[in-house]
Amino acid sequence: MRAVIAEDLFLLRDGLTRLLQAHGMQVIAAVDNGAALLAAVIADRPDVAIVDVRLPPTFTDEGLRAALAARRAVPGLPVLVLSQYVEQIYARELLAGGAGGIGYLLKDRVLDGAQFADAVRRVAGGGTAMDPEVIARLVDRSSADGALATLSPREREVLGLMAEGRSNAAIAARLFITERAVAKHTASIFLRLGLQPSDDDNRRVLAVVAFLGR
Amino acid sequence: MDGRTGAPEQAPGHGRWSWIGEGAVAAARGAGLCGLAVAGSVLLLALLLPLFMTGLEIGLLVNGPGHWPVAQAVGERVLPLAGLAVSLLLYPAVLLAVRRLATVTRRLAGDWCAVPISDPYLNQLADGQSGYRARLRWLADPATRRDGQWLAVNTLGGWILAAAPAGLMVYGLLCLLGGSQGHPVVAPPPAFPGTGPLVLILLGAVFIAVGLWAGPRLLRGYGLLARWLLGPSGQAALALRVAHLAQTRADTIDTGAAQLRRIERDLHDGAQARLVAMGMTLDAADQVLGDNPAAARALLAEARESSVKALAELRALVRGVHPPVLADRGLAEAIRALVLDLPLRVHFASELLGRPPASIESAAYFAASELLANVTKHAHAGQAWVDLRHRDGTLRLGVSDDGCGGADPARGSGLAGIERRLAAFDGVLALSSPPGGPTVVNMEIPCALSSPKTSSC
């Protein structure tokens, strides 16, 4: 798997590169600003781009804008955005297109190398990897309104784990229920959110979009 | 809430006959103000009494009692001296009464004449500081002298403006009465052609109509006259402004210092302590690495856990100091992010074409954050509304909910704290929260917007 990294702090850029290499991935470019990221993804067509939200020159949400621009330039490019803090509005902007291949994680998550590499692979495979901290706050308030209010607490829990990017098997293990029970919950979630039984993977993404995009 | 929020908006008159009602109300209010003027005249006499008595005494000393038959009759020099002593003893009470009367007049000028007048006094009595000398110190305040001047002007003729509406109407009524009885009850204006019943009735109607029509205008004139003397003079306004700035500056410095202390404590007890623990755990892992790799692994996991917690604490700290999304996207988006994290349905509307200065953004953000936290914690609300806009050089933020109401700024320090922080920017906060709800909080901060930054998408 070929990855591009955009991170302005040398220590983190270096660490990320080594981490991905240790998990069998190839880092074809490691850049320190948004413009270089855009050039790299257009030139090298990587399987995934890993982008820090805060990049020069503005040191605000430059990285997020660069990631969105990269996805416009290379449609379907899987992007994993890393940040020192997570905000729902940023998650929504990333998912606004309704397409998969989006990750949004706290930087802390790189401390668990294996899990992080797992998230990178899921995003590269077209799935989602939303940070549990975003999901936790969403689950807290999703009882307040919208179609999500019709979901049972258990279904909201399953949807949250789905948004984090977990497979049915992983969700089953986390919630101590059978995989068949998880499948039943996901079918019910899709039904209540009005998602047609087409491509299951895409439906999972759309459910997450519905979850975030109220 | 106070004078700085500006004049209350005049409700537009409804219907073509509303001026009659307004005129009648104005006449009644004018009569009330006349009553105040009478009380003021008495106070004016009391104010001048020591001067008068002193003059009397000096007159006696210079000219001898023979030229002062009245004083001679009631007891030579004892009376003026006694009068002087009594009036001096009572002087602080008189000063207090004058100030109370002026304060009532100011309030009525705002309520009745639509001319709000703000307080001009510099040396308000602090709590626990009272008594004779403190009151006499009021004499040093130019505003006290201006109060006295107002009493004089009001007594000498100002009251006529207030009395005119009722006077015109009473005169008109008396003319009508005369017309109905066939002979005039009061003398018609000089050079008036005839005193026939019809003429008198017509005259009465005209006077009443003029009184009704002119009532509110005359009252406004009276209010403006009162403001000329009872409002702060240019110098007093500056002095008040300086006092306000000194107060808010002290508050701001205190708040900043308290926040720095809190950050220092949080860092010391949180991230710093965790980093120390992490270093010790890593050292321990280093020592057992050769003999017991399993134990070393457990220690390393513990160190990693510490680093995660340290990061989480730093994140919470940064959020409390200056939320990154506020720096990234500005006030509207930051409040939108705030609203998204709340466990209730919040309708957010914003109209901001540009960004306020960073310090004001921060103050408004934390005010909104505090208010929304109150809504979640205390209001038992189903929904809330947040409205953010910039009009006429003022940033306005409204937060309302359909909860149980009964919020009281005096009880919790939250609202008072917001008010103090806003005051540093000349911002004000208005709260309406009757028991049973709804609660509506409006904030206004005067500021200019910078040109909008290029949008992200």
- Indicate if B295 and B184 belong to the same structural domain: no
Q: What is the mean pLDDT of each run of 10 residues along chain B (457 residues)?
A: 39 66 85 88 86 78 61 61 80 84 88 83 57 74 85 86 87 83 69 69 86 87 86 83 88 89 89 89 92 92 89 88 88 90 86 90 92 87 91 92 83 80 89 87 92 51
Helix or strand holding residue B345 (H, E): strand B345-351
Instruction: Among B304, B328, B344, select the one facing A60 at the smallest CB separation.
Output: B328
Q: What is residue A193's DSSP assignment?
A: T
Residues of B within 8 A of A65 (CB-CB) are 456-457
- Indicate if B203 and B252 belong to the same structural domain: no
Best probe of the B interface among A68, A85, A137, by most B CBs < 10 A, is: A85
Q: What is residue B89's DSSP assignment?
A: H
Residue B384, strand partner residues: B346, B401
* Residue B7: per-residue pLDDT: 38
The answer to whether position B1 is within a domain reads no
Q: Residue B313 and residue B139: Cα distance in Å, rounded?
A: 58
Residues 6+ apart with CB under 8 A from A86: A104, A105, A106, A131, A133, A134
CB contact, 8 Å: A136 with chain B? no
Write out residues 153-212 of A within 8 Å (CB-CB) of B. Answer: none
- Indicate if B334 and B297 belong to the same structural domain: no
Q: Residue B34 and residue B405: Cα distance in Å, rounded?
A: 41
Instruction: Among B318, B329, B337, select the one facing A88 at the smallest CB separation.
Output: B337
- Indicate if B289 and B390 belong to the same structural domain: no
Q: Give the range of the structural domain holding residue B131, as residue numbers without chain letter.
A: 18-230
- Indicate if B345 and B312 belong to the same structural domain: no
- Indicate if B317 and B345 belong to the same structural domain: no
The chain B residue lying nearest A54, using CA atoms, is: B328
Domain count, chain B: 3
Between chains, do B456 and A65 touch, taking CB under 8 Å as contact? yes
HSE (side-chain half, CA atoms, 13 Å) at B7: 14
- Indicate if B148 and B225 belong to the same structural domain: yes
Are the C-beta atoms of B233 and B142 separated by less than 8 Å? Answer: yes
Peptide bond into B184 cis (omega under 30): no
- Indicate if B204 and B314 belong to the same structural domain: no
The answer to whether position B108 is within a domain reads yes
Q: Residue A194 and residue A114: Cα distance in Å, rounded?
A: 35
Residues 6+ apart with CB under 8 A from B212: B19, B20, B22, B23, B24, B27, B165, B169
Instruction: Among A84, A88, A144, select the one facing B344 at the smallest CB separation.
Output: A144
Token representation of residue B160: 């006529």
Q: Residue B257 and residue B275: Cα distance in Å, rounded?
A: 26
Q: Which of B175, B199, B230 is the last residue of a domain?
A: B230
**Amino acid residing at B289:** L
CB contact, 8 Å: A21 with chain B? no
As a three-state string, the secondary structure of B123-172 is CCCCCCCCCHHHHHHHHHCHHHHHHHHHHHHHHHHHHHHHHHHHHHHHHH
Of B367, B365, B361, the closest CA to residue B450 belongs to B361
Best probe of the B interface among A59, A62, A65, A89, by most B CBs < 10 A, is: A89
- Indicate if B313 and B337 belong to the same structural domain: no
Best probe of the A interface among B341, B372, B401, B454, by most A CBs < 10 A, is: B341
As a three-state string, the secondary structure of A145-159 is CCHHHHCCHHHHHHH
Residues of A within 8 A of B340 (CB-CB) are 88-89, 137, 141
- Indicate if B331 and B315 belong to the same structural domain: no
Q: Residue B118 and residue B7: Cα distance in Å, rounded?
A: 11
- Indicate if B92 and B226 belong to the same structural domain: yes
Token representation of residue A190: 């899709």
Of B357, B443, B389, B402, the closest CA to residue B5 belongs to B443
Residues 6+ apart with CB under 8 A from B412: B374
Token representation of residue B386: 């947040």
Residue A90 has phi, psi (to 5 degrees) of -70, -40
Between chains, do B325 and A64 touch, taking CB under 8 Å as contact? no
Token representation of residue B318: 């940064």
The answer to whether position B2 is within a domain reads no
The answer to whether position B456 is within a domain reads no
DSSP per residue, A64-89 = HHHHHHHHHHSTT--EEEEESS--HH
Q: Which of B169, B196, B230 is the last residue of a domain?
A: B230
Between chains, do A137 and B308 touch, taking CB under 8 Å as contact? no
**Amino acid residing at B186:** V
Best probe of the B interface among A55, A59, A60, by most B CBs < 10 A, is: A60
**Residue-wise over B430-452: b if at least 16 C-beta within 10 A, else e?**
ebebeeebbbbbbbbbebeeeee
CB contact, 8 Å: B39 with chain A? no
Given the DSSP bridges, would you call strands B428-432 and A26-31 parallel, antiparallel or unpaired? unpaired
- Indicate if B188 and B54 belong to the same structural domain: yes
* Residue B68: per-residue pLDDT: 56
| Helix/strand/coil for B385 | strand
Helix axes B142-153, B234-267, angle to 10 degrees: 140
Of A48, A21, A51, A25, the closest CA to residue A36 belongs to A51
CB contact, 8 Å: B343 with chain A? yes
Between chains, do A84 and B318 touch, taking CB under 8 Å as contact? yes
**CA–CA distances in Å: residue B3 to residues B33, B126, B382:** 21, 21, 35
**CA–CA distances in Å: residue B166 to residues A205, B174, B180, B341:** 78, 12, 21, 61
Q: How many CB pairs under 8 A join A and B?
A: 59
The answer to whether position B4 is within a domain reads no
The answer to whether position B241 is within a domain reads no
Would you give per-residue pLDDT tens digits along chain A (214 residues)? 999 999 999 999 999 999 999 999 999 999 999 999 999 999 999 999 999 999 988 888 899 999 999 999 998 899 999 998 888 888 888 888 777 789 999 998 888 888 899 999 999 988 888 888 888 777 666 555 566 777 888 888 888 888 888 888 888 998 899 989 988 988 888 888 777 766 555 677 777 777 776 5
Q: Which of B278, B304, B321 is the last residue of a domain?
A: B321
CA max distance for chain A: 50
Given the DSSP bridges, would you call strands A26-31 and A2-6 parallel, antiparallel or unpaired? parallel
CATH number at residue B403: 3.30.565.10
Q: Residue A58 and residue A52: Cα distance in Å, rounded?
A: 13
The answer to whether position B368 is within a domain reads yes
* Residue B58: per-residue pLDDT: 78
Between chains, do A137 and B341 touch, taking CB under 8 Å as contact? yes
Between chains, do B343 and A144 touch, taking CB under 8 Å as contact? yes
Residue B347 has phi, psi (to 5 degrees) of -95, 120
